[in-house]
Amino acid sequence: MNVIQCTGSNLKTPGLRGSHMCHVYDFYKPDLSSEYPTVDGKLSIQCYLSALDACYRTFSRKVATKEPSSPAMSLHQMDAFIFHSPYCKLVQKSLARLCFNDFLNCPADQVAIQYPGLEAFREKKLEDTYFDRDVEKAFMAHSQDLFLSKTKPSLLIATQVGNMYTPSLFGGLASFISRNTVENLAGKRVALFSYGSGLAATMYSLRITQDIGPDSPLTHLVASLQDLQKRLDARYKISPPEFAETMKLRQDTHHKASKIIATHRGKVGSVFDSPAQKVVTLPEPSHSSRIVAGGHLICVQHYLPPVPKRMITTLNMRTHECNTSMAY
């Protein structure tokens, strides 16, 4: 049994996971000279939901194999469901999607009892319903109470910070822990869905330790997250124009090297407790810059050298040698 080390806590993975991978261009960066990705929003949502379906199906099958005497996998078998969260509405739709999966897997003689009023959706197929508003609305309504109890507590950070990409799932786990007491967490079984565009996804579960003693790792973990909301409230606030100016600075200096990038006075000074922030680059070929505030080194940023707009590869059929030329 593996142990996930989360500041020393005992969050144990029972060893079951369902993974899914697919080669798809839903969200990617074909142009490395740009800071921004290329996104197909509709395709990205379809990829996310189809990966969720596939992972839940595999995970459920493994649960049935390992625990044949237990009830079939469903939303009711877990105490919490935490998702990778591009935006919070998609998380709520994801829980509803799992509810729809459970509905389709429900024995025919139990459908009217467990899902009253939803019988008309029985003939629907998963692959035909990614953008079916009637299915989405019906199962979001049916799973509302489950969402409030099993998933919404994990959205504290996501609702205030937005999409953190890779850490968003673990921000959800931290949020879930921060909204519970040690006593409430002990022994809980938590399902997590991890997702990355391109795509790769995994659903797995954690079982939280029963050790709730005053010196237990779980107790220390919960205590360390009790001020999470205060930390969020202590964030530095800037106006929309200042934010736009900061984003423009990032765009203008993307891939820049070997010159002074920027000097920004005013608000930034209060962040670092100094009157100004100055960014100075090191000589080529380091492609690095030092961020200095008030005479103190804050961090070092690394810039990639300019990338070619295209690469042309030719193959000599006689010698079988490849030659690559780059156009900037």
Find tokens 């989360």 and name the residue.
6
How would residue 111 be classed by pLDDT, with cut points 50, 70 and 90?
very high
Domain extents in the chain: 2-233, 251-328
pLDDT at 150: 98
| Position 10 pLDDT exceeds 80 | no
Domain range 2-233, CATH architecture: 3-Layer(aba) Sandwich (3.40)
Higher pLDDT, 275 or 242: 242
| Position 302 pLDDT exceeds 90 | no
Higher pLDDT, 281 or 185: 185
Higher pLDDT, 201 or 3: 201
Higher pLDDT, 119 or 324: 119
Find tokens 């519970």 and name the residue.
180
| Position 269 pLDDT exceeds 80 | no
Higher pLDDT, 276 or 227: 227
State yes or no: is 23 an active-site residue. Answer: no
Closest CA to 81 of 69, 63, 93, 66: 93
How would residue 299 be classed by pLDDT, with cut points 50, 70 and 90?
very low
pLDDT at 32: 80
| Position 135 pLDDT exceeds 90 | yes
pLDDT at 24: 95
Q: Where are the alpha helices (DSSP H) in 125-273?
A: 133-142, 144-150, 156-161, 168-178, 182-185, 217-224, 228-233, 240-253, 267-272
Higher pLDDT, 276 or 229: 229
Answer whether 102's CB lies under 8 Å from 75's CB.
yes
- Residues 6+ away with beta carbon under 8 Å from 247: none
What is the percent of the chain where pLDDT is above 70? 73
pLDDT at 321: 53
How would residue 38 be classed by pLDDT, with cut points 50, 70 and 90?
very high
pLDDT tens track for 227-267: 999 999 998 888 898 888 888 887 877 776 544 444 444 44
| Position 323 pLDDT exceeds 60 | no
Catalytic pick from 20, 23, 76, 84?
84
pLDDT at 71: 87
| Position 315 pLDDT exceeds 60 | no
